[in-house]
Amino acid sequence: MANKRNIIVGQSGGPTAVINSSLAGVYKTAKERGFHKVYGMLHGVQGLLDEQYVDLSTQIHSDMDIELLKRTPSAFLGSCRYKLPEIHENPEVYEKIFSILDKLDIEAFIYIGGNDSMDTIKKLSDYAVVKGLPQKFLGVPKTIDNDLAMTDHTPGFGSAAKYIAASTKEIIRDALGMSYKKVNITVLEIMGRNAGWLTGATALAKTEECEGPDLIYLPEVTFDLDQFRAKVKALLEVKQNIVIAVSEGIKVADGRYVCELASNSDYVDAFGHKQLQGTALYLANLLSSELGCKARAVEFSILQRSASHMASRTDIDEAFMVGGAAVKAVDEGDTGKMVIITRKSEDPYVSTADIYDIHRIANIEHTVPRIWVNQEGDYVTEEFIDYVRPLIQGDYAPFIVNGLPQHLVLDLNRK
């Protein structure tokens, strides 16, 4: 075991604009700490089970490649949404994974992901403990949804929040310019499943020269269609241009997602998550037909998690930091943990990376506290805005080639 100095790293779940900055942090720190090989799983644990992996030294040759990787959206190694079975349900899956880890002389397994991915870290580290196996398992937080427990926030959230707030400002400008003597309603749909952190971030569009969205609906508060109609009608008494932000995951009182009212898709992924899409379109169509006015739906969709051209510097730096912290932790003997971000001070904003027991994190959804939503349930509070603001600060200029951002792309023929 003493000479097993190899690490394997994987990326899992929905990507973010900065997930590759964490990968860069893992790679650079592993090299600095004297790990021999750093393998990357292709498409996470699902690809690993098919023995799909790459020696990352064939992909990252220089500090310039590290810098490019930090600015590259999507999962460089490929991602997956794969649910590990319970150990008693299918021990063969575990035996297969550990036999591959043995074959590659893996000392530590690092997984960059969200809630579902932390479930993988929990199960694999539990298995290793029960069987007395030497490999260590560490989670690196990642998700635009910002719904992981114990960490102040998750890498990926700040950049998505920045993109959403900036785009909301731009949409409001466009809509205002087009609302002379006519009503103009725009409904924005934002990701986050059952957590409204990103939808709330549209409130950051409220600045000196921009009034921000008029209404914000988070999944943490039951959505009432009648109240919604009444609110919009009341607003139309005083203004022509209305911008409304809704989470893809808002639900009505009987528990159905609003997007299910239009019932356009029954697809569920391996974790049983429904594909949430069409909330804004449903509401825009409803308002347009009931009020006889123009109403447009804007679905940010995957743009919000891939807009690395306007990622937040704070976010890119923290993503890199947590990747490095995971390597340090396994090197010092930790396993069954996830790196968390601790907010040390607000002004100046300072954060550190710590580690926390995965059993207190996996499968727990950290949603927006009700006290950070106003009484009517249609806007976020100043405390919410103060919490998000430091996370969208700074930028990381993309490397522009022929007018477009350049990315680092996996090339399995590269040596």
Options 10, 14, 40, 44; binder of ligand F6P; rule CB under 6 A:
14
Site string for ligand F6P, 179-208 (x = CB under 6 A): ------------xxx---------------
Nearer to ligand F6P, 180 or 267 (CB): 267
Find the helix or strand (DSSP H, E) in which 9 lies.
Answer: strand 6-11
Tokens 């063969």 belong to residue: 92
Task: Give least dist CB 116 to ligand F6P, A.
Answer: 8
Nearer to ligand F6P, 130 or 270 (CB): 270
Cβ atoms within 10 Å of 213's Cβ, excluding its own: 27
If binding is defined by CB under 6 A, does position 305 make contact with ligand F6P?
yes
Q: Looking at beta carbons, which residue is closest to ligand F6P? A: 14
Cβ atoms within 10 Å of 96's Cβ, excluding its own: 15
Beta strands in 24-162 (DSSP E): 38-41, 53-55, 106-113, 136-141
Task: Give least dist CB 392 to ligand F6P, A.
Answer: 18
Task: Give least dist CB 15 to ligand F6P, A.
Answer: 8
Give CA–CA dist 361/118, Å, rounded.
7
With beta carbons less than 8 A apart as the criterion, state whether 54 and 40 touch.
yes
145 is catalytic: yes
Options 8, 9, 10, 13; binder of ligand F6P; rule CB under 6 A:
13
* Number of shown-chain residues binding ligand F6P (CB under 6 A): 13
Give one DSSP letter per residue of 215-262, joined into a string: EEE-TTS---HHHHHHHHHHHHHH-SEEEEEEETT-B-TTS-BHHHHT
Nearer to ligand F6P, 13 or 25 (CB): 13
Select from 139-147, 178-186, 250-258, 388-396 the region that touches ligand F6P (CB under 6 A): 139-147
If binding is defined by CB under 6 A, does position 79 make contact with ligand F6P?
no
β-strands 337-346, 136-141: how paired? parallel
With beta carbons less than 8 A apart as the criterion, state whether 175 and 265 touch.
no
Q: Which residues contact 37 (CB under 8 A, 6 or more apart)?
A: 5, 6, 7, 55, 57, 104, 105
Radius of gyration of the chain (CA): 22
Nearer to ligand F6P, 269 or 411 (CB): 269
Select from 102-110, 142-150, 222-230, 349-357 the region that touches ligand F6P (CB under 6 A): 142-150
If binding is defined by CB under 6 A, does position 114 make contact with ligand F6P?
yes
Q: Which residues are catalytic?
A: 145
Contact residues for ligand F6P, defined by CB under 6 A: 13-14, 114, 143-145, 191-193, 248, 275-276, 305
